[in-house]
Homo-oligomer: A and B are copies of this chain.
């Protein structure tokens, strides 16, 4: 590779370039190979400190970033709100700057408000700290590392076709609570950038007609909106179910779990509408029997759900590596 990585922070996929997708996918592929070796570690980020600033609790994403950092030989610091001085009134920016002053070279940020990782990134730039911020999920805005690991899971399935073409013309269905989903938003960016057709399906409260207006013109031609789930998954190569947050029900955005399951739940019968080689994705954790039948979750042939988790470590190693070293060398 001769192209260097130049992006300091990973906050959104809205303006990710094809070359950047390539870099992430190829670097992650290198690391996925490292993970099959005996020691599973590379010294790439020795001396670096990855601070996981999770203002919103999360098990899997934090553990995934933590393990990715350790396998790059970085040290990790974990901050979680409950045990924090935010209880003492500290501002979010001050928390982040404190960890940077302590020595953090990369901060991984999750917050239930959109824009917090970007605000931290701006402050780090203002201070000329040379520190990178990675958005690990901000409100209903974006979850770039999730969409990139989804993409990587699909990438690893590709046959011999040219690497950049593995999604061109493919049909991807995303089903569920689209409007509140940072996972959906980031995936729409990545999937359209790679040339896929994205078909969204969900009830009107969770997928309003106006949703399409939020997309820029170049993408909106690749995105289709459906009220019923059947046309969305009809012939789809990939089907991604989104997690249903139970709090949507108490907010009266959903009639009942039973109705949701009846109209949008994916089981064997509905999935038969998709391509015979369909692969099913879910960002996890799954509400079994709601978004997906248990059978669909556990199907060894079609379910990519555990593979997504495995891909997550390799992709997060790639992201930490790229922003942490700023260069595209062979990992190892």
Contacts and interface: CB of A to CB of B under 8 A. Distances in A.
Interface of A: 35, 37-41, 46-47, 49, 57-60, 63-64, 66-67, 70-71, 75, 77, 79-80, 82-85, 87-91, 94-95, 97-103, 243, 246, 284-288, 306-307, 309-310, 312-313
A285 B88 contact: yes
A306 B98 contact: yes
By Cβ-Cβ distance, the 4 closest A-B pairs, closest first, are A90-B285, A101-B309, A101-B306, A40-B47
Contacts of A49: 67
A284 B59 CA distance: 28
30 contacts: A38-B46, A38-B47, A40-B47, A40-B103, A41-B47, A49-B67, A57-B84, A59-B79, A59-B84, A59-B95, A59-B98, A60-B85, A60-B98, A60-B102, A63-B79, A66-B77, A70-B75, A71-B75, A80-B83, A85-B285, A89-B285, A89-B287, A90-B285, A90-B286, A94-B285, A94-B288, A95-B285, A98-B306, A101-B306, A101-B307
A97 B84 CA distance: 26
Nearest to A99: B63
Copies of this chain, whole number: 3
Given A103-B67, A310-B101, A94 B286 contact: yes
Given A39-B46, A47-B38, A94-B286, A313 B102 contact: yes
Given A38-B46, A100-B306, 11 more contacts: A35-B103, A37-B47, A57-B84, A58-B85, A60-B98, A60-B102, A85-B284, A90-B285, A98-B309, A102-B312, A103-B313
A38, A94, A99: most-surrounded residue (chain B CB, <10 A): A94
A284 B98 contact: yes
Contacts of A82: 82-83
A87 to B, nearest CB: 7
A59 B38 CA distance: 31
